[in-house]
Amino acid sequence: MTAYLLRRTGQAIVVVIGVMVLTFALIHLAPGSAARATLGTKATAERIAVFNAANGLNRPLAAQFATFVKQAAEGNFGTSYSLHEPVSTLIAQRLPRDAVLLGLSTLLALLVALPMGVYQAVRRGRAGDHMLTVLSFVLYSMPDFFFGLLLVALFSVQLHLLPSQAPQAQSVGGVLADPKALVLPVVTLALVSLASFSRYMRSSAIGVLAQDHVLVARAKGLPEHLVLRRHVLRNALLPVITVLGLAAPAIVTGAVIAESVFNYPGMGLLFYQAATSKDYPILLASTLVVGVATVLGSLLADIAYTLLDPRIRYDRG
């Protein structure tokens, strides 16, 4: 197992380096310069040169990259061009808020999706399965923003039940203190992931249900609910864990939209604003944060897999 995890970690490190190179290259090879974006299109060549020198943009790319890596390792991502604050401070403020939003919504999605997938697998081909299948397809096929706005139109504008804005508090505690305002963003994000999670669970459970050991369990005289709980659920969960690890980018995408719709001051909104104002330090840093989170997510998923699957736990190495 150690050997496998070591190799897996090695791969993760390579990918993180890849992410750094990719984002850095992407931003610095772009034609629209940061200086013009920050200073406006009427800026003189002189002012641009001063800006570039001040921000080290006139040095060779390789040197800039080296500086970027070195400073990133120290947690220093420079200062935002537009907000004039250290990027690390901005991220440190917002990351916990994202943890709350994304954590709650993913948890909610899983709590509904896993039983739903198993139910569909058991009732495969019957009315209940078909109905839930149609539901998940419609959910999956709806643009996230439209979905969020529909919920707002219904629950805030029409029924006046829930606020249309997410909590604006700075601290995690403040966010949690306003649970009513959290409902819509969390539900929007959860329903978006619900569709794909439940589809995975369904097909995984169908696969497990067809296996011999399930028949053996039934031949023992085990009632069906115990067959499902003891012999199907855990086996069916294993492949879903891997999928969960890979779901991080999709969840982040959802966050960008949901934060724009509900005006939730998280990383997604920060990133979106930075993209429109060409705020390189923020773009670079948040892309890196997301990339590392994704890599960590799939690494953690693989580790969880090895812990849950006795075949890997004992076999590898």
Partner 1 sequence: MPPLLDVRNLTTHIRTGRGTVRAVQDVSFTLEAGETLGLVGESGCGKSMTGLSLLGLLPPGGTLVEGSSVRLDGRELVGLPDRELRTVRGNDIAMVFQDPMTSLDPTKTIGHQVAEPVLLHRGVSRAAARERAVEVLGLVGLPQPRRRLSDYPHQLSGGQRQRALIAMALANEPRVLIADEPTTALDVTIQAQILALLADLRARLGMAMILITHDMGVTAGNTDRVNVMYAGRIAESTGTDRLFSRMRHPYTQRLLASVPRLTQDPALLLPTIPGLPPDLADPPTGCRFADRCPYATARCRAEEPQLDGTAEHRFACWHPVDGPAPAEIGGKVADAVAGAATGGGEGAAATTGLAEGPAAAGTVVRPRAPEPAAAAAPLLEARGLVREYPLRGSWLPGRDRRVVHAVSDVSFTLARGETFGLVGESGCGKTTLGRLLVGLDRPDAGAVTLEGTDIGTLRGGELRRRRRDLQMVFQDPFSSLDPRMRVSAVLREPLRIQGIGTAREQRARVAELMAEVGLPERGLDLFPHEFSGGQRQRVGLARALALTPKVIVADEPVSALDVSVRAQVLNLMKRLQAAHGLSYVVISHDLAVVRHLADRIGVMYLGRLVEVGTAAEVHRRPAHPYTAGLLAAVPVPDPAQERAKRGAGIGGELPDPAAPPSGCRFRTRCPLAQERCAREEPALRSFGPGHTAACHFPLVAPAADSPSDVAAGRP
Partner 2 sequence: MTAADPGPVAAGPPVPGRPAEAGPLTAPAARRPWAAALAGNRRALAGLVLIALIALFCFAGPLLYRTDQVTVHLDLAQLPPGGGHPLGTDANGYDVLGRLMAGGRSSLELGLAVAVATTVFGTLYGAFAGYLGGIADALMMRAVDTFLAVPGLVLLLIMVSMFTPTLPGIVLLLSLLSWLSPARLVRGEVLTLRTREFVQAARMMGGTGPRVVLRHLVPNAAGVVIVSATFTVADSILMLSTLSFLGLGLPPPHADWGTMLTGGLDFLYDGSWWLVYPPAVILIATVVAFNLLGDALHDALDVRLQRT
Pick what 299 binds: partner 2, partner 1, none; C-beta below 5 to 8 Å, kind-dependent: none
Count other C-beta atoms under 10 Å from residue 248's C-beta.
21
Pick what 22 binds: partner 1, partner 2, none; C-beta below 5 to 8 Å, kind-dependent: partner 2
Residue 215 CB partners (closer than 8 Å, separation 6+): none
Is 37 within 8 Å of 277 (Cβ atoms)? yes
Burial 212-222 (b: 16+ CB within 10 A, else e): eebeebeeeeb
Number of amino acids touching partner 1 (CB under 8 A): 30
* Sole binder of partner 1 in the list 170, 171, 211, 276 (CB under 8 A): 211
What is the CA 34 to chain-centroid distance, rounded? 27
Pick what 88 binds: partner 2, partner 1, none; C-beta below 5 to 8 Å, kind-dependent: none
Is 115 within 8 Å of 205 (Cβ atoms)? no
Residue 167 or residue 297: which is nearer to partner 2 going by CB? 297
Length of the chain: 317
Residue 129 or residue 178: which is nearer to partner 1 going by CB? 129
Count other C-beta atoms under 10 Å from residue 313's C-beta.
12
Is 68 within 8 Å of 150 (Cβ atoms)? no
Residue 70 or residue 220: which is nearer to partner 1 going by CB? 220
With binding defined as CB under 8 A, does residue 123 bind partner 1?
no
* Sole binder of partner 1 in the list 53, 131, 234, 276 (CB under 8 A): 234
* Sole binder of partner 1 in the list 26, 230, 263, 275 (CB under 8 A): 230
Pick what 103 binds: partner 1, partner 2, none; C-beta below 5 to 8 Å, kind-dependent: none
Pick what 230 binds: partner 1, partner 2, none; C-beta below 5 to 8 Å, kind-dependent: partner 1
Of the ranges 81-89, 131-139, 140-148, 234-242, which one interacts with partner 1 (CB under 8 A)? 234-242
Is 81 within 8 Å of 280 (Cβ atoms)? yes
Count other C-beta atoms under 10 Å from residue 113's C-beta.
24
Positions in the binding site for partner 1 (CB under 8 A): 2-4, 6, 124, 211-213, 215-223, 230-231, 234-235, 238, 308-311, 314-317
